[in-house]
């Protein structure tokens, strides 16, 4: 049934792609439109009920795309026996329409999450933890550049309220004192920063924090949390890592100066250090291409080795030293040119997977019951 559904969607997508070229101006206008009414005056989608499993994109006891593995790898999905939990908050995945936030029943949104983001992002953690990924009414992509900044803030707060509610449901019903890894990308990181501040920073729950992988958004280079440090070593726990990926020579304005900053946090996902040492692409043990035909077989594409090297620059951008020489890594998917935002996790998939396993192992060893 799953494969038939995916094939039908692929056929629909190909037909839609043809229509795009005929109706390109209208489609682009639809993709970039912002509601004419303020957020407070615009109807919002129905609220999630996190007791309903359909309102979760991934759950550890369910067959979903967070379980997928790269073809040809020796990876094993360890969720059934894992001692650690992973709470994953996905990035912006809604582009089309004329609304502030996407409903949970938005088919294009669900397709992007279930067959793009979950397998290529969340699955990097199925070797270490049980993955919980709530669906939430996320802010649509063009909204971030809307002139009505008050409505943008309200839409963001609205989306965070869903993430917060999902986390509280998870803690009440499923966590049971287990160690926890927080993972997010882009818009998801806006929400997990708030989540860490509200529930972990200097709170009893901080004792359960293995690490936060808060990728693809700006965290200023200052003590952003009172008690949760930036990770400085590959085996450090109770800390967070973050980075934003741009090709050498690109413009960091969006992530740094636009936020009124001179420097932001950066941990190199190839060395797991916050220094400026460059790591050559020969040390990158596995990347996942963005376009995956593996959705027909419920697997990821095989990993590519040595795709990019990286270094953290003095302003806190993760600079990649070369354009990928293999297909499946086009920067045109986000802004074109030099920004590789959509590959913040894909580029470093194997390194992230191995690092999460390492940090969890250290955490468990340091928290053995007497």
Domain ranges of the chain: 33-366
Q: How far apart are CA 111 and CA 168, in angstroms?
A: 26
| CA–CA gap between residue 200 and residue 220 (Å, rounded) | 19
The reported pLDDT for the residue numbered 127 is 98
* Per-residue pLDDT tens digits for 109-151: 899 999 999 999 999 999 999 999 999 999 887 676 667 678 7
Q: Which of 74-88, 255-269, 294-308, 310-324 has the lowest mean pLDDT?
A: 294-308
The answer to whether 186 touches 92, Cβ cutoff 8 Å, is yes
**What pLDDT score does 344 carry?**
98
Higher pLDDT, 27 or 45: 45
Work out the pLDDT band at 178, boundaries 50, 70, 90.
Answer: very high
Ramachandran angles phi, psi of 86, nearest 5° = -125, 120
Per-residue confidence (pLDDT) for residue 204, from 0 to 100: 97
Which phi and psi angles does 193 have, rounded to 5°?
-60, -45
**CA angle, 332 then 338 then 343, to 5°:** 65
Coil, helix or strand at residue 279 = strand
213, 1, 172, 195: which is closest to 86 by C-alpha? 213
Average pLDDT, the chain: 88
Helix crossing, 24-32 with 2-22: angle to 10°?
110
Q: What percent of the chain has pLDDT over 90?
A: 69
**What pLDDT does residue 298 have?**
84
Q: How confident is the model at residue 7 (pLDDT cuts 50, 70, 90)?
A: very low
pLDDT of 293 reads: 59
Instruction: Say what the pLDDT of residue 101 is.
Output: 85
Please state, in angstroms and rounded to a whole number, the distance separating the CA atoms of residues 100 and 116. 22
Span 269-278, average pLDDT? 98
Please determine, for residue 59, whether its predicted confidence score (pLDDT) is greater than 50. yes
The total number of residues written for the chain in this structure: 370
Task: Please state whether the predicted TM-score (pTM) of the whole model is above 0.95.
Answer: no
191 pLDDT band, cuts 50/70/90, is: very high
In this model, does residue 222 exceed pLDDT 60? yes
Question: pLDDT per residue over 296-308, tens digit each?
Answer: 668 999 999 999 9
Residue pLDDT, tens place only, 313-364: 999 999 998 999 999 998 866 656 899 999 999 999 999 999 999 999 999 9
Q: What is the pLDDT of residues 13-38, one digit of tens each?
A: 433 333 333 333 433 444 457 777 87
| Local structure of residue 161 (DSSP, 8 states) | H
- Report whether pLDDT(152) > 70: yes
| Residues 6 or more apart whose Cβ sits within 8 Å of residue 269 | 241, 243, 310, 318, 347, 348, 351, 352, 355
Q: What is the pLDDT of residue 294?
A: 58
End-to-end CA distance of the chain: 48
Mean pLDDT of 73-98: 92
For position 336, what pLDDT does the model report? 64
Residue 69: the pLDDT is 96
Give the pLDDT score at 311. Answer: 98
What are the strands, taking DSSP E only, across 189-326? 209-215, 239-241, 245-247, 310-312, 318-320
């Amino acid at each position: 049934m799953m494969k038939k559904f995916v094939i039908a969607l692929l056929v629909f997508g190909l037909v839609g792609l043809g229509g795009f070229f005929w109706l390109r101006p209208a489609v682009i206008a639809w993709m970039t439109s912002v509601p004419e009414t303020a957020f407070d005056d615009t109807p919002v989608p129905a609220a999630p009920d996190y007791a309903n499993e359909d309102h979760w994109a991934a759950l550890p006891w369910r067959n979903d795309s967070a379980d997928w593995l790269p073809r040809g790898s020796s990876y094993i999905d360890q969720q059934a026996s894992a001692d650690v939990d992973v709470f994953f908050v996905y990035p912006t995945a809604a582009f089309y329409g004329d609304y502030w936030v996407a409903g949970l029943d938005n088919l294009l949104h669900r397709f992007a999450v279930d067959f793009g983001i979950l397998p290529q992002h969340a699955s990097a953690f199925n070797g270490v933890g049980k993955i919980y990924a709530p669906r939430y009414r996320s802010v649509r992509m063009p909204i971030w550049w809307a002139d009505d900044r008050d409505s943008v803030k309200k839409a963001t707060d609205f989306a965070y309220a869903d993430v917060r509610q999902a986390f509280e449901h998870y803690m009440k019903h499923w966590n049971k004192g287990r160690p926890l890894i927080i993972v997010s990308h882009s818009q998801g990181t806006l929400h997990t920063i708030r989540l860490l501040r509200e529930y972990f920073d200097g709170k009893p729950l901080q004792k359960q924090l293995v690490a936060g992988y808060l990728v693809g958004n700006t965290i200023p280079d200052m003590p952003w949390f009172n008690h949760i440090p930036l990770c400085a070593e590959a085996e450090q726990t109770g800390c967070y890592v973050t980075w934003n990926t741009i090709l050498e020579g690109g413009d960091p304005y969006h992530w740094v100066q636009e936020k009124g900053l001179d420097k932001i946090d950066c941990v190199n996902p190839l060395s797991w250090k916050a220094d400026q040492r460059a790591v050559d692409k020969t040390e990158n043990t596995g990347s996942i291409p963005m376009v995956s035909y593996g959705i027909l077989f419920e697997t990821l594409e095989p990993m590519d080795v040595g795709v990019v090297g990286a270094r953290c620059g003095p302003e806190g951008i993760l600079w990649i030293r070369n354009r990928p020489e293999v297909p499946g890594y086009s920067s045109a998917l986000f802004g074109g040119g030099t920004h590789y935002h959509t590959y913040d996790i894909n580029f470093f998939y194997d390194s992230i997977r191995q690092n999460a396993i390492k940090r969890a192992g250290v955490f468990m060893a340091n928290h053995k019951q007497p």
